Structure 1
């Protein structure tokens, strides 16, 4: 019977703690008894000159008794170790769930209900007179809490089951024979059970499959466990054979339950492989695993006897590499080898995919179905780098190493290019069609999108120091990551002869958001604003403590113009700019001069972004005025209302650099400050999405502005002015000064627009 939420919340773990202490005493006592038996009774027996019946009966009895005492000690020691580990983990999980239920839930106005089978339901109780309407932020918080509690209960249930299983094996069920399976830790017991299940392969029923996934899920990042698990599989070849068979078993046909289990296994085994291959972990696999995987990469791996079509090792391994934060010493030689094989023959691996005619698109070694079918290992390894920031950074900055066909280092060889950044980002790079769709179908139009998409993810990881899909992302930038971003900006900008592949544009936007502080720093002095104060006084240190880096004025502007053309890219950068503006002004509350200089530059950047998007709309719909006006209206609506609740969704709070007092508390400080007026929080008012709020609040010190027309330009101008208006009130500016300042801020906004071009002459 599975552990329930109520069990974990209410169980008295103090009794288990007492049992741990009692078993420790038993272990110590039995150790003494075993030592005494071995050094006393057994030693005397061995030294004695036995004759007659004593030579066989008494000596054998002494030997057996000594062994039994030693076995009792071993059994007690095993029980104590697994109980100690289990108690430690359960105490931590109980603390987490009590915090969630007794503190987090009440703070959110949420109740938690046990619905059985280890699950809870979180809900907002009805209050008389309440409309029961909730913001998206509230709904997201409710779901996060529910998921967190359910995940905690599931983890505790797995520990409970593993403890029971380990204790039963340690005892053995024979009260007349002590000493059976001995464990050094609970990890040891869990790895053994995982190995037992893995040996069943595709013969595992769904219940056993779920058990294996449960053990892996909660132990994959534990190096002791993951190392033991992979060693139990046998080696690199046996690992590929096991995962390959399980992956095909889960992706063939239309068994949705089996497919879901194979997706979980892919993720769990990937995370465990990353943990097991990290040389910095105390327990880890030998370095030979990487070289053996490279050797197997170009060899067929026979998964079924007599099968006419066997996958290459890299095709199977790629499914695992897509998950986990891998150490560069393991994954980078594999990544380099794969790129070099690809360069020799871009279709080498895709020519080995099954010919299913588009009938079963899940079939293969990437059950997730994300970013390619998984038959092109280049896509897979780039996805792996997308989750391995340090490895990705080194991959794009270290000089290439040449590899032979078998994955060994070619000491005298050359690769034909200076860096993997240059090679993978060149205009004519051939991306393989990593898909099983039927040639000529509508879906086939996008079969070459997967590689560029994965490249974007790898670059995000390298430049931000966080996995591209981390939630939330936390920036870890340094000199090397900035240099890669500098290359990105140099390669992808509005003046490039060849633009970016469509699939990489979302990554470029997120990278821009992550470097919004350096983009602002680089654009200072645009439009003749002067450098009276110097950028150091205006921008200070970057939000993550490092010094700002200069991409160059023109390069920064051209990059923003490239990204801002597309609706999603524009929204991502614009939202990041608004958060950055708010936090920057907060940081300058004690220095009005530098604060206003910062405000002028921020307004200019807003102008660049707004004008860029408008230019693209006018160009795209130059022959359709209605469509053009509709797109412009959409942009205007977003600029009016997309600031408060949507910023986190568009950008991700952790991926935007903030300054000063706002650092680390963007959601609580920077965003409300951005749109607050006269101390009122914009979160509630803007949640209503009413134009009346804009009219009533934004210009309460400037009645003449109420007559302004609702053009996109004027919406953008107001968007640039509002945080400055709030800043002026914060630092105590008079209304007369504010009236004089407003047209100057508007002028900076239009200076930025002018850098993009005269839009009235377009279309």
Structure 2
């Protein structure tokens, strides 16, 4: 029976704590009794010279009594350990659900308890407002409902696991103590998970749901995850189990079974990342990684006699797509996969099933995201996209050469690095799909690999999983160097530019480095800057990692990215907040502030003209459609500047657009940047400002709020932050007019930089 909202909110866990204490006392007393029985009557019985009936009946009675006391101690200790762990976890969950209830009350949200372990959050009917709610209020309600339901789901799993463990500890015979014994709740959960896993595809949906629940709430627990994978047997047995479950779950049209299999993929992937992290205790031995590499291009017979037995990497890839992996585990696998691909780009895809009438989603990636799961290259890149530290090392560390069997070839050199290899214009991306060549569905089968590459690069340069929610930027010299390589590679013509599926990642990467892009546009090459560029950008980035990508390279990169609608929105929103906040940090230095404002206006001009040029190219034969797209661009800029901002509760930290980054036009995405105890709201959809704030970049609430005041677009968008800055530093009207003319000129300089001769073209 599920734990309800009111159960968890109101239950007196002090009673459970008292029970835990009582059981601890019982354990201690039984331990003493067991020791006394063993050292006392049992020892005397063993030494005694029994004869007649006593030689059998009395001796047997003493032995049995001693064992029963020992069994009682074992059973009591098992009950104590399980209840103690449950109490600790439930106390934490109760604190979380009560905090959520307090938040709901603050927002005026009612939490309706359905009584089945789920809740529904609603705003009570209010005639005075017509029940209209801001985007922020809607998002707050949705977030609270999801959070509370997750807490209740976790509590229900603990409750079910404890009940099951207590039944097994006690057994079914009231006159016979000592049955299953556990040293922790984890141990009991591993035992049950292993029992269910042994059923494999014979699991009922109810049993499958139970296994998923155990895995979901324990996947990040090293004790549980390490023991669970050990219970499967080893790397090959792990592949056999997941391979069969994946193929079974993706076959046919059973939507419920498919959903269960998708959850298994996520949880098993997260658990594998936890169990193979050498920084965790306990963890699986390095042998697991070595064995996975040996099995990588070996056939794994999932069903005796079946054709097209999958290779180990094809199955393993489904798990690698989820979890933050230790570089020591995933990088050797990723390197081996890339090297196998380099030798034969179709090695793995030649092993996909001859489908006939098979389901197109049949394979080892039940999620259905970026491939069916027969191409491990896409899989490991997705894995790196969720493993920032590993991704950073993958693109920068000296490559290790692997033999085909996955062992290290100490005498060989690779001759290429992975960044250059994967970003080659003519790189052959495998078609990870079961669609028939030449069919309509085959048009985009090679799009998934570049998308995964974008995710891996994004994790490497931001230090955060590409779809983390919310992520936090972790920049250092290494991430900066990788970003410099990205800009060096993608400041070219469209013909040699990024695959369309990479552009959303490149836009988020550009937004994360919007400070350095501005710094680069101010690139004077060491002359003509009497103020000193570093002085103007004194609060932008850490001086040790501040980087100029070069004015032309930065401009061309922004041209490529901002030509795309979502890329333009992502970079523009980042630019507006950066400009407003940057000016706030320079209120004590008028000359530097004016120089900063002009440079920011130039960047605005570059972004606007890049998008405008692409619109003209896309709709050069349809003036009506072209005008409509231009109008959409202007309307979006108005929304960005004039109140498309949801009010955000104080006390948060910077938020970044998650998987939907780039769609800031459609929804107001709040970011919190704290300054002097105050909180700033804006629609900026990236984490850069939090990073800058962490490095003493001064964010001013009033200056940031200035981005909401725009009434028109174009050069006025560039002027608004400067206008507020002019007011803040007390400029006269004549000085404001002069600054306005300068800003307009700088904005047009940015637009003019995208001249006909320089425009990115195909």
* Fold match by TM threshold 0.5: yes
Give the corresponding residue for 1:221: 220
Deviations 1:133-171 (A, max 9, x none): 223232122111100000000100100010111111111
Q: Does 1:516 align with 2:547?
A: no
State the aligned residue count: 728
Do 1:576 and 1:656's aligned partners in 2 also have CA atoms closer than 8 Å? no
Deviations 1:237-285 (A, max 9, x none): 1111111111111110111111111100000100000001111111111
Distance in structure 2 (CA, Å) of the matches to 1:272 and 1:717: 52
Q: What secondary structure does 2:688 align onto?
A: coil
Give the corresponding residue for 1:328: 327
Do 1:542 and 1:657's aligned partners in 2 also have CA atoms closer than 8 Å? no
TM-score by length of 1: 0.91
Do 1:583 and 1:662's aligned partners in 2 also have CA atoms closer than 8 Å? no
State the shift of 1:497 in Å: 6.4
Do 1:251 and 1:362's aligned partners in 2 also have CA atoms closer than 8 Å? yes
Which has the larger displacement, 249-258 or 577-586?
577-586
Matches within 5 A, 1:411-560: 411-417=410-416, 419-495=417-493, 498-525=496-523, 530-542=528-540, 547-560=545-558
Do 1:400 and 1:415's aligned partners in 2 also have CA atoms closer than 8 Å? yes
Instruction: From the superposition, tell whether residues 238 and 527 of structure 1 become closer, same or farther in structure 2 (CA, over 3 Å).
Output: closer
Deviations 1:287-334 (A, max 9, x none): 111111111111111112221221111111110000000101111111
Gaps of 5+ in 1: 683-692, 696-709
Give the corresponding residue for 1:689: none
Q: What secondary structure does 1:199 align onto?
A: helix
**The one of 722, 732, 735 aligned to 1:724:** 722
Which has the larger displacement, 533-542 or 511-520?
533-542
Distance in structure 2 (CA, Å) of the matches to 1:409 and 1:43: 59
Aligned Cα root-mean-square deviation (Å): 2.6
Give the corresponding residue for 1:676: 706
Give the corresponding residue for 2:367: 368
Q: What secondary structure does 1:112 align onto?
A: strand
Which has the larger displacement, 319-328 or 467-476?
467-476
Q: Does 1:9 align with 2:9?
A: yes
Give the corresponding residue for 1:404: 403
Give the corresponding residue for 2:688: 657
Do 1:515 and 1:656's aligned partners in 2 also have CA atoms closer than 8 Å? no
Q: What secondary structure does 2:689 align onto?
A: coil
Deviations 1:176-230 (A, max 9, x none): 1111111111111111111111111111111111111111110000010011111
Instruction: From the superposition, tell whether residues 533 and 212 of structure 1 become closer, same or farther in structure 2 (CA, over 3 Å).
Output: same
Q: Does 1:301 align with 2:331?
A: no
Give the corresponding residue for 1:315: 314
Give the corresponding residue for 1:254: 253
Q: What secondary structure does 2:114 align onto?
A: strand
Give the corresponding residue for 1:613: 611
Distance in structure 2 (CA, Å) of the matches to 1:602 and 1:760: 20
Distance in structure 1 (CA, Å) of the matches to 2:121 and 2:527: 53
Do 2:454 and 2:506's aligned partners in 1 also have CA atoms closer than 8 Å? yes
Distance in structure 1 (CA, Å) of the matches to 2:492 and 2:150: 46
When you count helix as a share of all residues, which structure comes out higher? 1
Instruction: From the superposition, tell whether residues 154 and 49 of structure 1 become closer, same or farther in structure 2 (CA, over 3 Å).
Output: same
Give the corresponding residue for 1:597: 595
Do 1:662 and 1:670's aligned partners in 2 also have CA atoms closer than 8 Å? no
Do 1:583 and 1:660's aligned partners in 2 also have CA atoms closer than 8 Å? no
Deviations 1:498-518 (A, max 9, x none): 111111111111111111111
State the shift of 1:589 in Å: 3.6
Q: What secondary structure does 2:409 align onto?
A: coil
Give the corresponding residue for 2:621: 623
TM-score by length of 2: 0.91
Give the corresponding residue for 2:635: 637
Distance in structure 1 (CA, Å) of the matches to 2:543 and 2:175: 66
Q: Does 1:272 align with 2:271?
A: yes
State the shift of 1:617 in Å: 2.1
Do 2:540 and 2:582's aligned partners in 1 also have CA atoms closer than 8 Å? no
Q: What secondary structure does 2:231 align onto?
A: helix
Distance in structure 1 (CA, Å) of the matches to 2:37 and 2:593: 81
Distance in structure 1 (CA, Å) of the matches to 2:692 and 2:342: 49
Distance in structure 1 (CA, Å) of the matches to 2:691 and 2:402: 48
Distance in structure 2 (CA, Å) of the matches to 1:645 and 1:210: 41
Instruction: From the superposition, tell whether residues 745 and 286 of structure 1 become closer, same or farther in structure 2 (CA, over 3 Å).
Output: same
Distance in structure 1 (CA, Å) of the matches to 2:295 and 2:574: 45
Deviations 1:350-382 (A, max 9, x none): 111122257512111100000111110001111
Instruction: From the superposition, tell whether residues 662 and 279 of structure 1 become closer, same or farther in structure 2 (CA, over 3 Å).
Output: closer
Matches within 5 A, 1:90-129: 90-102=90-102, 104-129=103-128
Do 1:197 and 1:204's aligned partners in 2 also have CA atoms closer than 8 Å? yes
State the shift of 1:495 in Å: 4.7
Distance in structure 1 (CA, Å) of the matches to 2:566 and 2:503: 9
Distance in structure 2 (CA, Å) of the matches to 1:490 and 1:558: 10
Q: What secondary structure does 1:266 align onto?
A: helix
State the shift of 1:727 in Å: 2.2
Q: Does 1:377 align with 2:359?
A: no
Do 1:23 and 1:80's aligned partners in 2 also have CA atoms closer than 8 Å? yes
Instruction: From the superposition, tell whether residues 473 and 106 of structure 1 become closer, same or farther in structure 2 (CA, over 3 Å).
Output: same
Distance in structure 2 (CA, Å) of the matches to 1:166 and 1:247: 29
Give the corresponding residue for 2:345: 346
Q: Does 1:580 align with 2:564?
A: no
Distance in structure 1 (CA, Å) of the matches to 2:243 and 2:371: 17
Distance in structure 1 (CA, Å) of the matches to 2:585 and 2:251: 57
Matches within 5 A, 1:238-249: 238-249=237-248
Instruction: From the superposition, tell whether residues 481 and 661 of structure 1 become closer, same or farther in structure 2 (CA, over 3 Å).
Output: closer
Matches within 5 A, 1:115-154: 115-154=114-153
